[in-house]
């Protein structure tokens, strides 16, 4: 295996190997990056209330999501432009997910054809859509999803327009496929309404996921429109700035959904303890985006698998020290609000790495 003992080492290798503008592209956020930092700050504002003198010799960190067993409550979130991070694009992510025992969300802008992805990892594959065409274009996407036998269909709903990502603007950076070209198709994303959700519900027999829910009001509407999974996300702080941290949104969404849909979340999750905080608040699983991109850039499938193994080790250790042996034992009684001790940024979850790269 790769020889990595910590996630910090994986991130450090990615930092050294990626061009600075590409690092900024995946690691940065919109405008002042307040939302990006709040994602981390919100996680760091939650402390544990551990219980002791419990038999924790046998730990089971698995969960179920969409009726499938996940080895840990973690899935690979949708990423665009994955060919920037590895010559094979998203294929190593699919292979790692299949081999490890989790799910992959394949983005429609990942530069990996759905049909190719389905041949590699159909049993772990969820398709995520950015709408970049008219009704006929969407219908063709639906047909391809059906033919590829995906586990579920995920519609991203927080990208009505493309945000101002100022690290990219400072660097004059654009992904290879868009250099010198205007962004196309965003007028269709800007025109989305709940009517498309209703159409998807009528057309598809597989679960429907809405990604980008950030309020209880929209979570209730999602359930009313037949959505199976509410995906709490602020796009990793890369869309609307000055939003709340994702984990701060989670409790109101869980209450609004009231058990009528599964709830998942992403946004700043870097550690096994982060995952357990989300599960304790009611999330079924946690998506990892930036961490996935860093691991992909650091060494492809092997390093992605090692990153998941390290997360699993962190989760097991934290569960034992909290005093639980299964995910369904976690609830909010194990959590307490506290003052963060670190200033939040892209390195703040990794203190050794932060000290090294801030010298």
CA atoms within 13 A on the CB side of 327: 27
Q: How far apart are CA 357 and CA 359, in angstroms?
A: 6
Kindly name the residue from 25, 86, 225, 235 that is annotated as catalytic: 235
Q: How far apart are CA 46 and CA 280, in angstroms?
A: 11
Sign for the pseudo-dihedral over CA of 22, 24, 26, 27 = positive
- Six token digits for residue 337: 């609000």
- Six token digits for residue 51: 């219980």
235 catalytic per annotation: yes
Rg of the chain taking only CA atoms, in angstroms: 19
Residue 111 burial class via C-beta count within 10 angstroms: exposed 0-12, middle 13-18, buried 19 and up: middle
Residue whose entry in the numeric block shows the structure tokens 């700050």: 41
List active site positions: 235
């Amino acid at each position: 295996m790769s020889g990595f003992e910590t996630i910090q080492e994986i991130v450090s290798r990615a930092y050294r190997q990626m061009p600075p503008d590409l690092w900024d592209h995946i690691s940065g956020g919109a405008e002042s990056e307040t939302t990006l930092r709040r994602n981390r700050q919100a996680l760091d504002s939650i402390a544990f209330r551990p219980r002791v003198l419990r038999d924790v010799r046998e730990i089971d960190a698995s969960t179920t999501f969409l009726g499938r067993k996940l080895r840990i409550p973690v899935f690979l979130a949708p990423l665009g432009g994955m060919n920037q991070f590895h010559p094979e694009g998203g294929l190593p992510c699919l292979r790692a997910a299949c081999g490890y025992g989790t799910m992959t969300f394949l983005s429609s802008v990942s530069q990996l054809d759905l049909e190719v992805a389905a041949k590699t990892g159909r049993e772990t594959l969820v398709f995520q859509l950015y709408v970049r065409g008219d009704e006929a274009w969407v219908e063709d996407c639906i047909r391809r999803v059906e033919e590829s036998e995906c586990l579920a269909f995920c519609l991203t709903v927080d990208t009505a327009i493309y945000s101002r990502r100022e690290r990219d603007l400072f660097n004059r950076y654009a992904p290879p496929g868009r250099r010198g070209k205007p962004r196309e198709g965003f007028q269709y994303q800007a025109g989305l309404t709940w009517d498309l959700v209703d159409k998807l519900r009528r057309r598809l027999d597989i679960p429907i996921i809405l990604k980008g829910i950030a309020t209880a009001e929209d979570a209730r509407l999602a359930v009313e429109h037949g959505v199976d999974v509410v995906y709490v996300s602020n796009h990793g702080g890369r869309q609307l700035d000055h939003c709340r941290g994702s984990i701060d949104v989670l409790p109101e969404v869980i209450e609004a959904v009231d058990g009528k849909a599964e709830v998942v979340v992403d946004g700043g999750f870097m550690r096994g303890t982060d995952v357990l905080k989300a599960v304790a608040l009611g999330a079924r699983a946690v998506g990892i985006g930036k961490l996935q991109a860093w691991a992909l850039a650091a060494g492809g499938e092997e390093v992605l698998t090692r990153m998941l193994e390290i997360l699993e080790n962190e989760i097991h250790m934290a569960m034992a020290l909290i005093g639980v042996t299964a995910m369904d034992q976690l609830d909010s009684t194990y959590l307490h609000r506290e003052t963060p001790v670190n200033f939040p940024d892209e390195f703040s979850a990794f203190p050794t790495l932060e000290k090294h790269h801030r010298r």
